[in-house]
Amino acid sequence: MFTSIAIIGRPNVGKSSLFNKLTKSRDAIVSDFPGLTKDRNHGYIKLKDKKTLLIDTGGIVNQKEDIKEAISYQAWQAVEESYLIILLFDGSEDLNKVDLDIIYKLRKLNKLFITVLNKIDKKSTSSIKQDLSKNGIKEYIEISAEHSKNLNLLKSYLEGKIPDASVNLPEGKKVAVLGRPNAGKSTFINNLINEDRLIVSEIAGTTIDAISVPFEFDKQKFIFIDTAGIRKGYKYNHKVEYFSYIRAIHAIEESDIVIFMIDASEGLVDQDLKIINMVVENGKPILFAINKIDLVSKEELSNIYETKKMQSEFISNLLKVEISAMKKKGFKKVFNLTNKLIDLSQKKHSTSKLNNLLKKFISLSAPPASGGRQLKFKHVHFAGTCPTTLIVHANQDKKIPSNYKKYLENCFRSNLGLSSIQLKLIFRKADNPYEGKKNKLSERQIKKRKRLIKHNKKPKK
């Protein structure tokens, strides 16, 4: 189930301020100048121990100017695709015609919405509550987004309204297939399961939704999620492409691994790197699949590997597999690597093993001095998966040179076999167990100390 939440309202009611507070980010620009938000921003709010997509929209107006009409159109697109709507009003002002038009249109669309009055910290004589009551809205939540007042109350209400989407997916290892349009994603899944489950066309963009396909291979259950190809400029394109991109993000979150597919005849381009970066930010393992190898020569294939983009550190750490979705080549290798990477990405590493490795890395390359103090690494422990997270304790945490951090990351990645697995190292300052504690001397020790001080003060003859 698609469970996005959209924030809508007329300009300058505080949509971007609320978006930033709920997502704990500064992605949306906040200003007193109305109409600043033009495109839809999206971020995540944590509800029911899961991340739910939150969409910030531009202010809705009734004016016929091209730019303002386009902003309103995009806001209503977000409404149509979202499960729940936060209808935001300025609580310090009376309802106006634009507010009423938004209410009437929401009711026509039969969308579930929650009414929120913002800016309750402002002193005013507004009659907005009476106006809402006259228009059939008896329940609302009063907040101050700027001062974070009643935001927990709002989040609790949202938690009660958002369904648990995970119950809709069948059991199995979840594999999302991503790439640009026409990379061969649907053909790959169809030929893998020997069924024409997905529409295949030479016209790029045929797939516009994220489609789940249960499948069993070698007595193991999988769920393949075929996603729409993500085009360049998707944020500014029409409704279908933008929300195809949003669904692709959901597919990444739901998956255990992402198979990223490129067309061998086109090679790796900047848009591919942007999509891969989305997966990296979500902490999911990536299997890099080069499709349509039957359409290129060995020399052309070799040239792909020799390009700067393929040789960059960003891509060189990924496991790669060559396939032909049309000819069904390389499928067994895809499954073997997929299984291997899922297991490895969910593996927990023992503290003793990690600490032995840390000692080994330090002995091979001693930590440098920083700020006149020698860096000392105390211990390391495992902290989570997707990404594989290690917490390294040292006598300093903010002055560790970036090149030494990278050295440790590369060493752990190599020794733990984490190719294609996202690895995150967190450096923390180790607590001093003796800090704030002073040894209390016994009465005998105090007397002895006094005798020594007195003895040292005697003038030499």
Least confident of 48-52, 120-124, 194-198, 315-319: 194-198
Least confident of 35-39, 339-343, 398-402, 457-461: 35-39
Please name the fold of domain 348-461.
GMP Synthetase; Chain A, domain 3 (3.30.300)
187: pLDDT strictly greater than 90:
no
Tokens of 387: 């990404």
**pLDDT band, residue 67 (cuts 50/70/90):** low
Rounded-to-integer distance, Cα 18 and Cα 13, Å: 10
Q: Model pTM? A: 0.62
Contact by Cβ (8 Å): 205, 230: no
**pLDDT band, residue 65 (cuts 50/70/90):** low
**Predicted confidence (pLDDT) per residue in 258-300, tens digit:** 999 999 998 898 888 888 888 898 899 999 999 999 999 999 9
233: pLDDT strictly greater than 60:
no
Question: Which one of 210-214, 354-358, 445-449 scores highest in mean pLDDT?
Answer: 354-358
The pLDDT assigned to 433 comes to 57
Give the residue-averaged pLDDT of 354-366: 95
Give the residue-averaged pLDDT of 209-238: 63
Q: Which of 256, 254, 261, 263 lies closest to 276, judged by CA?
A: 261
Rounded-to-integer distance, Cα 271 and Cα 223, Å: 26
The pLDDT assigned to 201 comes to 35
Q: Is 141 helix (H, G, I), strand (E, B) or coil?
A: strand
Domain with CATH 3.40.50.300 in the chain: 5-165, 170-345
238: pLDDT strictly greater than 50:
no
H helix or E strand, kind and range, residue 98: helix 97-109
Give the residue-averaged pLDDT of 39-65: 74
Rounded-to-integer distance, Cα 278 and Cα 275, Å: 5
> Which architecture characterizes domain 170-345 according to CATH?
3-Layer(aba) Sandwich (3.40)
356: pLDDT strictly greater than 80:
yes
Q: Which of 8, 3, 18 lies closest to 155, judged by CA?
A: 18
163: pLDDT strictly greater than 90:
no
Tokens of 37: 């938000």
> Which architecture characterizes domain 5-165 according to CATH?
3-Layer(aba) Sandwich (3.40)
Across the chain, mean pLDDT equals: 81
Domain with CATH 3.30.300.20 in the chain: 348-461
Instruction: Compare 370 and 307 and report the one with higher pLDDT.
Output: 307
The pLDDT assigned to 370 comes to 76
**Predicted confidence (pLDDT) per residue in 289-316, tens digit:** 999 999 999 999 999 999 998 988 889 8
